[in-house]
Structure 1
Amino acid sequence: MARFTDIIGQEQLKEHLQNALKLNKISHAYIINGERSSGKEFIAGIFASALQCEKVQLQDEDIPSGNVEPCGECRSCKQMATGNQPDVIYVTHEKPGTIGVEDIRGQINGSVAIKPYSSPRKVYIINEGEKMTVQAQNALLKTLEEPPEYTVILILTTNMESLLSTILSRCVVLNMKPVKDMQVKRFLMETMQVPDYKADICVAFARGNIGKAKLLASSEDFEHVKEEAITLLKYINDMEINEIVAAIKKIGEYKLDVNDYMDILAIWYRDVLMFKATNDANHLIFREEIQYIRKVADRSTYEGIELVISALEKAKNRLNANVNFDLTMELLFLTVKENS
């Protein structure tokens, strides 16, 4: 069973939750704000387990050094491990892009007055809180304004700005922070047995997001896309436009966020820029490709490399704004070809 000691990084957030448990000063509502895959659900599950754990509840609240790790042995912890804790409610929604007013009324407002079945508290976990409509948030506000003393609501969100100010003012806001690269790398190598070189690549792409690092390390698609992207960059000067178009179309065959593909290209060119400036391969992410990185660095100007990096950022913004994928990528690769 997961415990606070299993959380990598996030020391401030972890300390806040542990102190709340130690001092028995639990707020009625928390917002955990952070990137997708950053571990919000994992942390919420551990906190919910500790809130309901029989051994944690039996502690003397005057002993602030008490152990607040869920024991994993009591009835509540065993129910949490199997997903059957009746007093920990995960709010669901049928529409994938929206949490509607009926979802909140039916799963929270309609049951919050009913006392916990077998635990001291009733914990509601709302994942993807940014998907709540304004009407849903206003419905939730009614509960937040006068919550029963046993209620704890955990709102997990990737975009806190999508929540009403009246919701924010009634919640304790906890922000996820990027995990240090060395902590992410150590986790990948020690827990997932990821080789050193592959761990470096995953760390570079994850940018402090431990969940994303795990996904990339175990994704076959990521490996294939990385190889194809690097092959395209290595040989783009010798390719005709129709070959580049064919390579672009192949990207869509993989189940991978296009931003990850763009990041591969950006990191390659950051490597090129770094090598051109330092002539040192030791700190390159794609250092096994040094032969090709040296060639690109030698034949490119600083201005040309910076133009490509700028074009990559513009292309990413266009794709996030739903501009036509094929057209955006063709324009990007023409810029790459002209400046490499």
Structure 2
Amino acid sequence: MSFGNIIGHELIKEQIQNSIETGNFSHAHLIIGEDGLGKSLIAKETTLKVLGRHENRRYVDIIEWRVLKNKQSIGVNEVRDIIKEVNKKPYEGDKKVIIVYEAHKMTMEAQNAFLKTIEEPPKGVTIILLSESLELVLETIRSRCQIHKLRRLNDKEIEAYILREYSDIEKEQIKSVTAFSEGIPGRCKIFLEDDSFKEIRNIILKILFTVYKKQPSKIKEYESFFYKYKDQWNEILNCFISYIRDIMIYKDIGKKEIVINSDKIEDLIELSNIYSFKKLNKIVDIITETREKLDRRVNSILVFDLMLLKMQEV
């Protein structure tokens, strides 16, 4: 693996490469970016360059720390274990790298306990923190790290990623995957490989047909679906909005090539014939209201039940 195989983030890759080659690489780094943007890839390649390695495999002097399976956060006890690893001498050479995944899940107490080590690690030790949020990392930690903020990829970069990873993909599907990804490569895999997401997309189409037919008994049948995917409510609502956007655009312009969800075009055409713009706009308002309630952590099953009932009434 090399930086050249990582699509996007050109400026960050160049800065890291140059600082390592000139001997100006900081001992502590904070890589910020949404899940699926490539934080781990950047961290791994950076680590190999720091150690002077070329083969992407496990090395004794690369310590990777993740949230424990039975935990929701990284606490003081876990940080103490990390510090112990930091203070152990490198085994294969004179350098060692510690990668802490999901650093935003460190408690405030844990971050404070880690502060001195980040500020002054032993000679030859590099610490790389990966976080989805800069705001959840203490200012005192931030000020001691070189910060690298990953940005979403543009459409050209996403298309290059899709074609590299899925060379046999059909051309018309690339547009759908690119739109769904919203610039995040990891979301391409969800769209193309995640069976649960495929089920979500199929069920939501059925729901839109059922809602129009105003069949309360049928609506109740979807309770198990919402319960099954209650933790993926954001994807559910995004899927609703994506379909409705396509229905409205096709209804207005009548061109298939503009539709994002091109693999569902026949269903979308049928829905565009039965829904009015007025009803579609009201459904968008209902989804927006639903999102606000779920953001406030209101019971998701009750919220979805109410959403469907309101949709039937429009």
| TM, length-normalised to structure 1 | 0.83
**CA distance in structure 1 between the aligned counterparts of 2:39 and 2:270, rounded to whole angstroms:** 43
Residue of structure 2 equivalent to 1:252: 227
CA-CA distance at 1:231 after TM superposition: 2.0
Residue of structure 2 equivalent to 1:223: 198
Residue of structure 1 equivalent to 2:100: 126
Residue of structure 2 equivalent to 1:156: 130
2:296 matches 1:313: no
Mean Cα displacement is larger for which, 142-151 or 259-268? 142-151
CA-CA distance at 1:143 after TM superposition: 1.0
2:232 matches 1:232: no
Residue of structure 2 equivalent to 1:103: 78
1:145-175 CA distances to partner (integer Å, 9 max, x unpaired)?
Answer: 2223312111101122111111111111111
CA-CA distance at 1:234 after TM superposition: 2.9
1:89-114 CA distances to partner (integer Å, 9 max, x unpaired)?
Answer: 11244342110111111222x24344
| 8 Å Cα contact 1:249/1:326 also seen in 2 | no
2:89 matches 1:115: yes
Mean Cα displacement is larger for which, 44-53 or 323-332? 323-332
CA-CA distance at 1:301 after TM superposition: 4.9
Q: Which amino acid aligns with 1:45?
A: K
Q: Which of the residues 256, 259, 279 maps onto 1:284?
A: 259
CA-CA distance at 1:220 after TM superposition: 1.9
Q: Which of the residues 131, 144, 149 maps onto 1:175?
A: 149
| 8 Å Cα contact 1:127/1:156 also seen in 2 | yes
CA-CA distance at 1:284 after TM superposition: 0.7
| 8 Å Cα contact 2:67/2:102 also seen in 1 | no
Show structure 2 runs of 5+ residues with no match: none
CA-CA distance at 1:223 after TM superposition: 1.7
**CA distance in structure 1 between the aligned counterparts of 2:191 and 2:269, rounded to whole angstroms:** 27
Residue of structure 2 equivalent to 1:62: none
RMSD of the TM alignment (CA)? 2.4
CA-CA distance at 1:184 after TM superposition: 2.1
CA-CA distance at 1:49 after TM superposition: 1.0
2:258 matches 1:275: no
From the superposition, tell whether residues 236 and 327 of structure 1 become closer, same or farther in structure 2 (CA, over 3 Å).
same
Q: Which amino acid aligns with 2:73?
A: T
From the superposition, tell whether residues 191 and 295 of structure 1 become closer, same or farther in structure 2 (CA, over 3 Å).
closer
Kindly tell me the number of residue pairs found equivalent between the two proteins: 312
Show structure 1 runs of 5+ residues with no match: 54-69, 73-79
How much identity, in percent, do the aligned residues show? Answer: 26
**CA distance in structure 2 between the aligned counterparts of 1:287 and 1:217, rounded to whole angstroms:** 14
2:187 matches 1:188: no
**CA distance in structure 1 between the aligned counterparts of 2:264 and 2:85, rounded to whole angstroms:** 59
